[in-house]
A and B are shown apart, each in its own frame.
Chain A
């Protein structure tokens, strides 16, 4: 599982959640796209939906069982839930630990 593959999967899921929630996002979706906070198109429900969908996608497509909102995630200086890039980085860390 390469970093690029993870990032692309996260971006695809981000777009899917936006579409399913009936919203639109005019900006470019890339590693800098915020998934949390005032600048993010996600509200709290979208964020929960997104994180849960990510966990299930990681299990279904890549056969790794992860909990993204774990203790370490909550204690990071830079929250994994800040942008698509930070959550992708965190997913990569969790997957590498299981490989």
Chain B
């Protein structure tokens, strides 16, 4: 399969890209930064997913070079607005919404155009358990992920007849840069609400995505799968 993953320079995106490369898939990764993966099955593009022209150019090249894509994993996310709403700057909120929602929207919009032509596709968006827990200080990030989940469900209805499914996976807390600014005590309190009260791993995320992109999941769409027993 040809799998496009956003935010592959580090964290979950990098681990996903390395896994799918090693599993024999062609992975086309992107990030604002430079390539950080060396693998014969990996190709990197440096651009900003919130820039429409760059996204259009990326998919234009993808269509010419690869004939399209099978899977889009909208992984890139930021949390620049980790504070009570009263203390969040406009730019911090806008940049969080832009990357997490608008970036996912732009990537999905252009991806489905190519998938439609091939009558097959899988769009996987990253949700968050934050949507379920509505924690103080996480309003903007949570709102951005709630928007992604809403888009996932509606987009799924729009594209199913083209052979495309669209789902979200909402992992439990996984150790990444995004977690660095989160109070560990507060995180433990949140995790204890889960059926699985410990940090999640990229492995369980990979297992879930592997199933969603498999033929067995042809009729699984418009779903948000929470990991960690949320």
CB distance from A69 to the nearest CB of B (A): 9
**Do B57 and A56 touch across chains, with their CB atoms under 8 A apart?**
no
The prevalent SS among residues of A at the interface is helix
A67: interface (CB < 8 Å): yes
Complex-state Cα separation, A56 to B118, whole angstroms = 13
CB distance from A84 to the nearest CB of B (A): 21
Interface residues of A in 5-24 (CB under 8 A from B): none
Interface size for B (C-beta < 8 A) is: 11
* B56 partner residues in chain A, CB cutoff 8 A: 65, 67
* B52 partner residues in chain A, CB cutoff 8 A: 67
**Do B161 and A56 touch across chains, with their CB atoms under 8 A apart?**
no
Residue of A nearest to B112 (CB): A52
B113: interface (CB < 8 Å): yes
Contact of B113 among A45, A55, A65 (CB under 8 A): A55
Complex-state Cα separation, A44 to B10, whole angstroms = 40
Contact of B63 among A45, A49, A56 (CB under 8 A): A56
**Do A59 and B116 touch across chains, with their CB atoms under 8 A apart?**
no
CB distance from B96 to the nearest CB of A (A): 22
Interface residues of B (CB under 8 A from A): 52, 56-57, 60, 63, 113, 116-117, 158, 161-162
Could you write out 19 A-B pairs with CB less than 8 Å apart?
A45-B161, A45-B162, A48-B116, A48-B158, A49-B116, A52-B113, A52-B116, A52-B117, A53-B117, A55-B113, A56-B63, A56-B113, A56-B117, A59-B60, A65-B56, A65-B57, A65-B60, A67-B52, A67-B56
Q: Which 7 A-B pairs have the closest CB atoms?
A: A52-B113, A65-B56, A65-B60, A45-B161, A52-B116, A59-B60, A67-B56
